[in-house]
Amino acid sequence: MLHAGSSIGIEKDDDTYFARLLFAEFFKRVAKDDITKAWYNTLRGNCAMSINRLLGLSPRSYAALLLASDFVSIGKRSNVQVNTTALKEWTKKDHYGLGGDRRGCAEHTQSNVVLQNINPTAEKGKKKDHHLIRIGYYYEEGETIVASKSINDGATPPPLTHRLRTIQRWFSLNIRDIISKQYQNEKLEQIEEWVRAKELGLDDQITYYVILPA
């Protein structure tokens, strides 16, 4: 039985709690897939190596999810800021079951990434510091090195499987009501632009599913 997160002292309010709970459950289900390899995905971008694409959401819906999860905010200088502490603590908090380290199914890090290895159409040779989340368990010796270098090496990411599509559909149906509350948020448009990262060449204009406001 699910309990409201704010009532048991896990998060500041129920929407934040349930957004983070479903986010974590998606990662755990993906990690349990037999053919899933440990891999790092970027917090920003609408392209093959982005968390947005892994979730199967539109950039607008993904931006609403980040707001609902309280993982991003608008700073004093009107710039988008990642709540790094909250993101890292979320992956490590026992309640969500992600582990948050090399033994778990997900962990957060930051790295200076070759943008063209995130999306082939990005500017050649350009690098940018990105928030990354590794999703999937390490099963064999040496996988830690393979996963940590995957984005910078431009290696081929795990394939989009039928099971992943099934998990995406489950997630979109369960997260709909939570993120729909963010569609009127005045910050949403700016967060969506940040997610797309067009100025970095990380938006290839493809989405798998679109969650529309009710």
Per-residue burial over 163-177, b = 16 or more CB atoms within 10 Å of its CB, e = otherwise: ebeebbeebbeebee
pLDDT at 140 over 90: no
Q: For residue range 144-201, list pLDDT tens digits in order.
A: 555 555 665 655 666 778 888 999 999 999 999 999 999 999 999 999 999 999 999 9
Q: What is the value of pTM for the model shown?
A: 0.86
**Alpha-carbon distances, residue 15 vs 21, 69, 134, 211 (angstroms):** 10, 8, 24, 17
Model confidence pLDDT, tens digit, residues 36-65:
677 888 999 998 889 999 999 999 999 999
For 73-85, what is each residue's pLDDT tens digit?
998 888 999 999 9
